[in-house]
Structure 1
Amino acid sequence: MRGVWRFLAAAAALSPAIGASIPAQAQQRPDQQAFFGLYKELVETNTVVGQGSCTRAAQQLATRMKAAGYPASAVTVFSVPEHAEDGGIVVTLPGTDRAQGAMLLLGHLDVVAAKREDWVRDPFKLVEENGFYYARGTVDDKAMSAVWADTMIRFAQEKYRPKRTIKLALTCGEETTYAFNGADWLAKNRPELVRADFVLNEGGGGRLDAAGNRQALAVQVGEKAAQNFTLLATNPGGHSSAPTPENAIYELADAIRAVQGYEFPIKFTDTTRAFFTATSQALPAPVGPAIKRLLANPADREADAIVSRDKTLHSTLRTTCVATLVNAGHAENALPQRATANVNCRIFPGESVDGTLIKLQQLAAAKVKVTANQPVRPIAVPPPLDPKIMGPITTLAAKHFPKVPVVPMMSTGATDGVFFATLNMPVYGVPGIFLEPDLNGIHGLNERIRVSALYEGRDYLYDLAKTLSS
């Protein structure tokens, strides 16, 4: 999950502090107790790539699915020999009406690494304190993955017969760019397991204020593509006592400066146009009027300068590229023979990796070589603001979270949803689970989730899956 939750800070400005205060502790029903057992087991199974095992987590879920009544033919645990611990699971609940097609519930099992010595608590032991669950993955993404798995189990136990086929795919590798990615593998090698008319994924969510009041819900409708590029400068080098004008570090620095100074042009999708239109009506001068000017004329540089003071709004308007790693030289008393920098780009929907590479090559000039790093991830295709999807999302939000606005957004980060573009499957990051203003320690220390937010989000997502499948 990348760059999504920061966006809600801007979305919340549309209607700050709206909604009832969420109670500090959820009242557990019997079905919630059953969910907690699944959630706890999943969270406490270490699924850090290279350290733990997503395959073990998938096998545990498979056991639960079969115990709930799914035949073995409906449950697929997959991995490849060279990445035996990076497996995942696919489960299918057939629909009664083939004309209705299928929907895919998508989540990822892997989590970001967490060092015990840095955490207050053991990151792989679920602890409840002061109305919060603490552990790595309590939010990203084991909250949604556990909810989707639990939803499938409840459907089987209830003998629910959906009109639309429901598929569940929980995969590994989302958090690590160079890892084996289960979503990518399924789309390329077992598309029949996951092919669907649309996907419900992570990426949306809700934002609370410091007092626990609900502020906004966001639906992710489109995302940027993450792509890394390497800038390389090379020289013959020599003794540092006799410097020459040609210096790999200086040449690389000039190229980095050129990237820093370049602004990619403003673009709009249907989603970002809808978001900025709503935002322009809610934010005071000078930002609100400046957004209106950009909507009318994306080349308005003065308006761009005003809006782009907000880093989230700035990155939502365009492709962005930023230097993130630098490595140069081989000795303190030698001229550098080699200097490299990693430039991380978040590419706007509709633009391409090749087009971004060409622009970086132009900025870096002839002395610096620019290459696109492997793997080259696909570019996400913005899904439509389909009323058949957005309507139930909004209607059920009004039922579960009265008076909380629902805002469409484009993520400035990236999810595994990008891998389904080749199958022409629109992906929606659904709302439901509310987070704190500090983003709950996702990818950082002492990750946590409000207990009540988890269970209330579970109820919403269950209703959403049932509504869209019926």
Structure 2
Amino acid sequence: MRIIHRTIALSFAVSAAMIPVGASAQALRPDQQAFFGLYKELIETNTTLSSGSCTQAAAQIGARLKAAGFADSDITTFSVPDHPKDGGIVAVLAGSDKKAKPMLLLGHLDVVEAKREDWVRDPFKLVEEDGYYYARGTVDDKAMAAVWADSLIRFKTSGYKPKRTIKLALTCGEETTFAFNGAQWLAANKPDLIAAEFALNEGGGGRYDPSGKPQLLAIQVGEKAAQNYTFETVNPGGHSSQPTPDNAIYELADALQAVRTYEFPIKFTDTTRAFFGATAAAMPGPVGDAINRLLANPEDKAADALISRDKAMHSTLRTTCVATLVNAGHAENALPQRATANVNCRIFPGETVEATFAKLKELAGPKVKVTINQPIRPTAIPPSLDPKIVGPAKAIAAKYFPGLPMLPLMSTGATDGIFFQAIGIPVYGAPGIFVDADLNGIHGLNERIRTRSLYEGRDYLYDLVKAYAG
């Protein structure tokens, strides 16, 4: 998960109606028990890059789909010879209206690495404690992957006949930039298999306040593109007892300082304009006033300075680049012969990898070599605020989460949805699954999800898919 739920962990307060926390968890319904079995199996199947297998997880999902009545022709499992454990699955539930374009449910099976010695509990054993499920992937992204697979199973076993064909794609490689990526492979090699009018993905969700009350909902409409660049400077070096200003580390440091102090220009999409407009209305006073001034004039430096004190708002306004890795020198008593740094950029929708590269070269200066790292991500294409997408999401939220506002958000991170956007499939991050303000250990230690969030989110997303499918 590159942006899933991170976008909703904003460090500013948004005025929101509150609804009370429900009673303690009740005994699971029979349909919830079946879902829990699928979810538990998926959680306890290690799908890390280092030692896990997405291919195994995909096969397990496939077996459950077949048991529910899906034919072999409805299911495609895939992998490539040089990455046999990084496979995925596509399943299709045919619609009754051949004129209605399909919809796609997208999720990823892989998870971030988790070391047992660092965790309080075994990260690959699902444990329930104090109203939470603990394990790696409980949120990112096996909650959504399990809900999507479970929804297709429920549709099939209940005899539901959607008007619109529903496709499911569960892939591997989302959590890395250097390994085989199933979403990218499908977009490049099987575009007809996953062709759809739109896709639902991670990236949206909801947020609880510190007391556990639902605070707001978010639907992700657009995301940035993640791209890495390498800065490198070389020098003959020499003995450290005779230093000169011509120093590889200093030259690299100067280039990184230039990146640090440069602000990319402010841009707006329809989504971010709507988001900031709603935020300004909810935050009267200096911040709200500054937002309105910036919406009217993106070059208002004073307004930018005030709003950008909040790191989430700052990143939502523009492309950002930051140094994340540095390696320099070869001996403690020698002048450095080489110094390198990784600069990680999150590129605003519509802006290109090449244009960002040109700006970084300008900032780095002639003594520092800048290169674009592989893989090169596609240009982020912002989806529209389509009423046919946003409307049902809000309407069903009013049933499950009455009184909560739903904000359209652009993720400042990136997901695998960018590969499908590049072939003309707009991708939306579906709301419904709530996280706490601390992000529930996603990508970190002791990842967890409230049991209430999982089961309410499952019901919401099931009804949402049905609403879109007709």
Normalising by structure 1, report the TM-score: 0.98
AA aligned to 1:52 is G
| Aligned equivalents of 1:237, 1:16: Cα separation in 2 | 59
Q: Is the 8 A contact 1:22 1:212 kept in 2?
A: no
| Aligned equivalents of 1:397, 1:239: Cα separation in 2 | 67
Residue 310 of structure 1 aligns with which residue?
310
1:104 lines up with 2:123 in the alignment: no
Residue 393 of structure 1 aligns with which residue?
393
Residue 8 of structure 1, CA deviation: 1.9
Q: Is the 8 A contact 1:107 1:145 kept in 2?
A: yes
SS at match of 1:167: strand
Residue 281 of structure 1 aligns with which residue?
281
Residue 163 of structure 1, CA deviation: 0.7
SS at match of 2:161: coil
| Aligned equivalents of 1:296, 1:22: Cα separation in 2 | 42
Residue 50 of structure 1, CA deviation: 2.6
Q: Structure 1 regions of 5+ residues with no counterpart?
A: none
Residue 378 of structure 1, CA deviation: 1.0
Residue 11 of structure 1, CA deviation: 8.7
Q: Is the 8 A contact 1:14 1:278 kept in 2?
A: no
SS at match of 1:191: coil
Residue 205 of structure 2 aligns with which residue?
205
SS at match of 2:356: helix
| Aligned equivalents of 1:19, 1:200: Cα separation in 2 | 26
SS at match of 1:98: coil
**In structure 2, do the counterparts of structure 1 residues 437 and 363 end up closer, same or farther at CA, with 3 Å as the change threshold?**
same
Residue 250 of structure 1, CA deviation: 0.5
| Aligned equivalents of 1:4, 1:301: Cα separation in 2 | 30
Residue 141 of structure 2 aligns with which residue?
141
Residue 182 of structure 1, CA deviation: 0.3
Q: Is the 8 A contact 2:9 2:438 kept in 1?
A: no
Residue 282 of structure 1, CA deviation: 1.0
1:32-111 correspondence to structure 2 within 5 Å: 32-111=32-111
Residue 155 of structure 1 aligns with which residue?
155
Write out per-residue CA displacement over residues 297-330 of structure 1, whole angstroms, 9 at most, x where no aligned residue: 0000000000000000000000000001100011
Name the stretch that deviates more: 396-405 or 26-35: 26-35
Residue 350 of structure 2 aligns with which residue?
350
Residue 375 of structure 1 aligns with which residue?
375
Residue 161 of structure 1, CA deviation: 0.9
Residue 287 of structure 1, CA deviation: 0.9
Q: Is the 8 A contact 1:224 1:380 kept in 2?
A: yes
| Aligned equivalents of 1:6, 1:182: Cα separation in 2 | 22
| Aligned equivalents of 1:259, 1:11: Cα separation in 2 | 24
| Aligned equivalents of 1:83, 1:259: Cα separation in 2 | 36
Q: Is the 8 A contact 1:74 1:92 kept in 2?
A: yes
Residue 465 of structure 1 aligns with which residue?
465
Name the stretch that deviates more: 11-20 or 382-391: 11-20
Residue 4 of structure 1, CA deviation: 4.4
Residue 114 of structure 1 aligns with which residue?
114
| Aligned equivalents of 1:468, 1:11: Cα separation in 2 | 32
Q: Structure 2 regions of 5+ residues with no counterpart?
A: none
| Aligned equivalents of 2:430, 2:326: Cα separation in 1 | 37
Q: Is the 8 A contact 2:17 2:405 kept in 1?
A: no
Name the stretch that deviates more: 377-386 or 104-113: 377-386
Normalising by structure 2, report the TM-score: 0.98
Residue 15 of structure 1 aligns with which residue?
15
| Aligned equivalents of 1:384, 1:390: Cα separation in 2 | 10
Q: Is the 8 A contact 2:74 2:92 kept in 1?
A: yes
| Aligned equivalents of 1:63, 1:7: Cα separation in 2 | 34
Write out per-residue CA displacement over residues 237-268 of structure 1, whole angstroms, 9 at most, x where no aligned residue: 11112222211000000000000010000000
Q: Is the 8 A contact 1:17 1:213 kept in 2?
A: no
| Aligned equivalents of 1:379, 1:22: Cα separation in 2 | 43
AA aligned to 1:151 is S
Q: Is the 8 A contact 1:228 1:344 kept in 2?
A: yes
| Aligned equivalents of 2:26, 2:107: Cα separation in 1 | 24
Write out per-residue CA displacement over residues 251-300 of structure 1, whole angstroms, 9 at most, x where no aligned residue: 00000000001000000000000000010111132211000000000000
**In structure 2, do the counterparts of structure 1 residues 329 and 164 end up closer, same or farther at CA, with 3 Å as the change threshold?**
same
| Aligned equivalents of 2:235, 2:412: Cα separation in 1 | 37
Residue 178 of structure 2 aligns with which residue?
178
Residue 160 of structure 1, CA deviation: 1.2
Q: Is the 8 A contact 1:32 1:455 kept in 2?
A: yes
Residue 3 of structure 1, CA deviation: 4.0
Write out per-residue CA displacement over residues 89-115 of structure 1, whole angstroms, 9 at most, x where no aligned residue: 000011111111100000000000101
AA aligned to 1:390 is V
AA aligned to 2:189 is N
Residue 27 of structure 1, CA deviation: 3.9
Residue 10 of structure 1, CA deviation: 3.4
SS at match of 1:231: strand
| Aligned equivalents of 2:40, 2:105: Cα separation in 1 | 20
1:310-329 correspondence to structure 2 within 5 Å: 310-329=310-329
Q: Is the 8 A contact 2:17 2:403 kept in 1?
A: no
Q: Is the 8 A contact 2:47 2:57 kept in 1?
A: yes
| Aligned equivalents of 1:141, 1:343: Cα separation in 2 | 26
| Aligned equivalents of 1:310, 1:11: Cα separation in 2 | 7
| Aligned equivalents of 1:162, 1:6: Cα separation in 2 | 32
Alignment length (residue pairs): 470
**In structure 2, do the counterparts of structure 1 residues 111 and 9 end up closer, same or farther at CA, with 3 Å as the change threshold?**
closer
AA aligned to 2:321 is C
Residue 437 of structure 1 aligns with which residue?
437
| Aligned equivalents of 1:23, 1:110: Cα separation in 2 | 33
Q: Is the 8 A contact 2:380 2:422 kept in 1?
A: no
| Aligned equivalents of 1:8, 1:41: Cα separation in 2 | 28
AA aligned to 1:369 is K
Residue 236 of structure 1, CA deviation: 1.0
Residue 271 of structure 1 aligns with which residue?
271
Name the stretch that deviates more: 141-150 or 24-33: 24-33
1:206-245 correspondence to structure 2 within 5 Å: 206-245=206-245
AA aligned to 1:109 is L
Residue 404 of structure 1 aligns with which residue?
404
| Aligned equivalents of 2:249, 2:86: Cα separation in 1 | 39
AA aligned to 1:107 is G
Residue 7 of structure 1, CA deviation: 2.9
Write out per-residue CA displacement over residues 3-57 of structure 1, whole angstroms, 9 at most, x where no aligned residue: 4434324397332462222434244110000000000000000000131100000
SS at match of 1:423: coil
Q: Is the 8 A contact 1:12 1:216 kept in 2?
A: no
**In structure 2, do the counterparts of structure 1 residues 12 and 236 end up closer, same or farther at CA, with 3 Å as the change threshold?**
closer
Identical positions, percent: 69
AA aligned to 1:255 is A
